[in-house]
Every structure is written in C-alpha cells, then in structure tokens.
C-alpha cells in the first residue's frame, strides 16, 4: 500500500511541506487546475507540479483528476476533439512519470453534498448529504454553491446541459463511456498509465440525471467494456458505501482479487436508512464502516496500489476547503498506517 494525499497545488491552504511530515507518506495526488475542462495541459504546468512534489521528497504518481468534458458524456459530435485532447494529456502525464489517473463519468455534477458545515456532537464540522435537503433544491432556479458543483455554469448553460441529458439514459451513458474507453485505453497502455474511474458520489441519480458507476453489476459492466488492466477502478469507501444496497467489503475483496483497483479512497460515513449520510472521522467507531475490516481485506489480497485518506472533518479551528483540511486527514492517514503496520507484523 502506497499512502498518498490530495493536494490542490500552490494555492491550497494545506502546505505540501506539512504533508511530507505525515509518517509513511509516499505520493501527492494533484492536478492542473487552471486549464478549462477538455483542453490540453501544458508540459510546463505538469513539470512544475512534478518538481514541487519531488523537491518535497514525495512521488508524483497520481493525478486526480483529468476531467472528462460533458460533450463526451453526452455523445455530441464535438466529443472526438475532446477525446484527442484527453489522449494527449495521458501521454504527457505518462512521460512525466504518472502511474495512475483518477477520473469520473458523472453527468454535470461531481461529488455532491447538501451542507458544508454540519456540526457533529464533538464540535467539529463535516460534509453531509441529506435527501430531504436535496429535494428542496433546484439547480436550474436556485442559487447553489456546494462541493461538486461547477460554479462556472450559468443558469442558461445548466439548462442547456439538462436539455441534452434528456436523451441520455443509463444505457446511452454506458455507450458513450465505452466509446471513450476504446479510444483512450490503448493510449494509456502505451503510456504506462492506469486509468481508475471514481464511483458516482452519491451512487444514485440526482436531479433525474443518470449515474452508472454505482453498484457491483455496473462495475462489472464497466470493466467488461475494455478488458484491460489499464481500465480499472478508484474504489471510494465513502461513495460506494453510502448506500445500503452495496456491500463495500465484498466490493473491495472482489476487485482487489481481480487486480482492478488501482486507487483507494478511504473514509468513513454515518449512513442513514434512506441512504442519507454524514461524513465522520476515519475511526471505525465514529461511522458505519469498519476501517479495520477494509484494510484487512486489502492487506490479505496483497494490495500494493495507492491509498489516500479521503474527506475529513474540519477540526481544531482549521479553515479552508471543506473536507480537505490537513488535520483530520492527517489523523486518518496515521490511523490507517497504524492498522497496516499491525497487520503486517501479525503476518510475521
């Protein structure tokens, strides 16, 4: 297991020199953030990130993410131009030594929460997703600014996107994903870069938009689209685990045995009966997921890919990007490192 940490570049309030102080930290997970979705990243921008990372004693191995343009997801004629750009990004990142690219195929909205600063009993704040709150929201008429929402969209732009998606159901979205994968995976194989799709978060439809990376049967269908080790998964315990329909332990076990998990996002959640959830500390006793069991499965199956502590609470007065403070994610990283060390020593 290679421990990694999400870092949003030089403008991130979390300093990279602090990340390197987390015991056993191996790799930075980052991206180029100043290029419009669908365009080619400059070699200079990639090289700058690589140099900063390596100057701080960390590996430049994982990119999260290279966003997929909506025209590709919808299947518009313009998708071929954006796919060519995507292929070039894979080539450039592979040349820079990147081993894994995490991406997603979620229509319009990335990971979505309904509240940024939900106060937990211990006084910390966390991201939450409450279905009753979502039902009161309308992305086409309301003023929304939440994680996973691209604030660059105008209301007119969002309406146009929603109009396009009226003709895209789950099967059509799978068809468009297959078209994309058949174009990029041969390039990824040549570049030595493993593609790792992130599950939909949450793993069910929102606002009537289709979502397909949600359940075991859909993960199987996805992997069968292009049967290559370079076509793999980012398994997020908090995403796939945020519905009672999924057995997250079975999912981790099955796909590590298949060697198709290239990246693990590990976080805990408190799951409600209606699949609403609140994000919690990583410790098993704080949420609904058994972190020890998840890491036991990874360890037993010889997982040697990249793992990062996912969203954390905001604790100890820290401010900044909700879910991405330093302190709680550092606690989570240390907690998982301790579990992994224990498992390794028990094997001897």
pLDDT of residue 158: 84
- Of the chain, the percentage scoring pLDDT greater than 90 comes to 86
pLDDT of residue 143: 60
Indicate the pLDDT class of residue 259, thresholds 50, 70 and 90.
Answer: very high
pLDDT of residue 144: 58
Query: C-alpha angle with apex 340: 314 to 199, nearest 5 degrees?
Result: 60
pLDDT of residue 306: 98
241-270 average pLDDT score: 97
Give the CATH superfamily of 2-346: Divalent-metal-dependent TIM barrel enzymes (3.20.20.150)
Average pLDDT, the chain: 94
242-265 average pLDDT score: 97
- Is-contact 107 210, C-beta < 8 A? yes
- What is the per-residue DSSP string for 40-105? PPPHHHHHHHHHHHHHTT-EEEEEE--PPPHHHHHT-TTHHHHHHHHHHHHHHHHHTT--EEEE--
| Stretch among 114-123, 151-160, 184-193, 293-302 having the lowest mean pLDDT | 151-160
pLDDT digits (tens, 9 = 90+) for 318-342: 998 999 999 999 999 999 999 999 9
Decide if pLDDT at 179 tops 90. yes
For 311-320, which contacts have Cβ atoms below 8 Å and span 24 or more sequence positions? 311/126, 311/127, 311/238, 311/267, 311/279, 312/267, 312/279, 312/281, 312/282, 313/120, 313/124, 313/125, 313/126, 313/279, 313/280, 313/281, 314/117, 314/124, 314/125, 314/126, 315/124, 319/13, 320/13, 320/14
Longest Cα–Cα distance of the chain, Å, equals: 61
Phi-psi region of 158 (alpha: psi -120 to 50; beta: other; left: phi over 0): alpha
C-alpha atoms less than 13 angstroms from C-alpha of 309 in its C-beta half-sphere? 27
Please confirm whether the linkage preceding 304 is cis (ω < 30° from 0).
Answer: no
314: β partners? 125
Alpha helix (H) residue ranges in the chain? 16-19, 43-55, 70-74, 79-95, 131-134, 155-165, 170-191, 216-225, 237-240, 248-257, 291-300, 326-346
Catalytic residues, which ones? 198, 236, 265, 310-311, 324
- Is-contact 126 313, C-beta < 8 A? yes
- Return phi, psi of residue 115, to 5°: -150, 135
Decide if pLDDT at 33 tops 70. yes
Decide if pLDDT at 105 tops 90. yes
pTM of the entire predicted model:
0.95
pLDDT of residue 302: 96
pLDDT of residue 141: 75
Alpha carbon 60 to chain centroid, angstroms: 17
pLDDT of residue 138: 81
pLDDT digits (tens, 9 = 90+) for 209-238: 999 999 999 999 999 999 999 999 999 999
CA dist 7 and 190 (Å) reads 27
CA dist 328 and 96 (Å) reads 31
261: β partners? 233
Instruction: Determine how β-strand 100-103 pairs with β-strand 115-119.
Output: unpaired
- Is-contact 110 100, C-beta < 8 A? no
CA dist 155 and 162 (Å) reads 11
Instruction: Determine how β-strand 125-129 pairs with β-strand 59-64.
Output: unpaired
pLDDT of residue 323: 93
Indicate the pLDDT class of residue 154, thresholds 50, 70 and 90.
Answer: confident
CA dist 181 and 116 (Å) reads 34
Indicate the pLDDT class of residue 20, thresholds 50, 70 and 90.
Answer: very high
- Is-contact 90 184, C-beta < 8 A? yes
pLDDT of residue 142: 61
């Amino acid at each position: 297991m290679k421990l990694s940490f999400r870092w949003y570049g030089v403008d991130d309030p979390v300093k990279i020199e602090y990340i390197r102080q987390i015991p056993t930290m191996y790799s930075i997970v980052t991206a180029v953030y100043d290029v419009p979705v669908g365009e080619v990243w400059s070699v200079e921008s990639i090289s700058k990130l690589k140099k900063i990372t390596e100057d701080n004693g960390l590996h430049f191995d994982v990119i999260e993410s290279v966003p997929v343009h909506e025209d590709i997801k919808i299947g518009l004629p313009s998708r071929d131009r954006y796919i060519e750009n995507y292929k070039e990004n894979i080539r450039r990142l592979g040349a820079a030594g990147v081993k894994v690219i995490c991406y997603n195929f979620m229509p319009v909205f990335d990971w979505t929460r309904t509240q940024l600063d939900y106060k937990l009993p211990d006084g910390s704040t966390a991201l939450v997703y409450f279905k009753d709150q979502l039902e009161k929201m309308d992305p086409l008429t309301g003023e929304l600014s939440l994680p996973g929402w691209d604030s660059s969209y105008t209301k007119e732009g969002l309406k146009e996107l929603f109009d396009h998606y009226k003709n895209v159901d789950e099967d059509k979205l799978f068809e468009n994903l297959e078209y994309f994968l058949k174009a990029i995976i041969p390039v990824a194989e040549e570049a030595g870069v493993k593609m790792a799709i992130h599950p939909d978060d949450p793993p069910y439809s929102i606002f009537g938009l289709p979502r397909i990376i949600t359940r075991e049967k859909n993960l199987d269908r996805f992997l069968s689209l292009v049967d290559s080790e370079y076509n793999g998964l980012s398994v997020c315990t908090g995403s796939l685990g945020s519905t009672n329909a999924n057995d997250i332990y079975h999912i981790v076990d099955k796909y590590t045995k298949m060697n198709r998990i290239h990246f693990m996002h590990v976080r805990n959640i408190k799951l409600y009966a209606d699949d609403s959830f609140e994000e919690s500390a990583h410790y098993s006793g704080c949420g609904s997921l058994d972190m020890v069991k998840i890491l036991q499965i990874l360890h037993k199956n010889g997982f040697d890919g990249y793992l990062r502590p996912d969203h954390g609470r905001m604790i100890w007065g820290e401010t900044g990007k909700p879910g991405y403070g330093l302190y709680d994610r550092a606690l989570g990283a240390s907690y998982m490192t301790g579990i992994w060390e224990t498992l390794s020593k028990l094997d001897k």
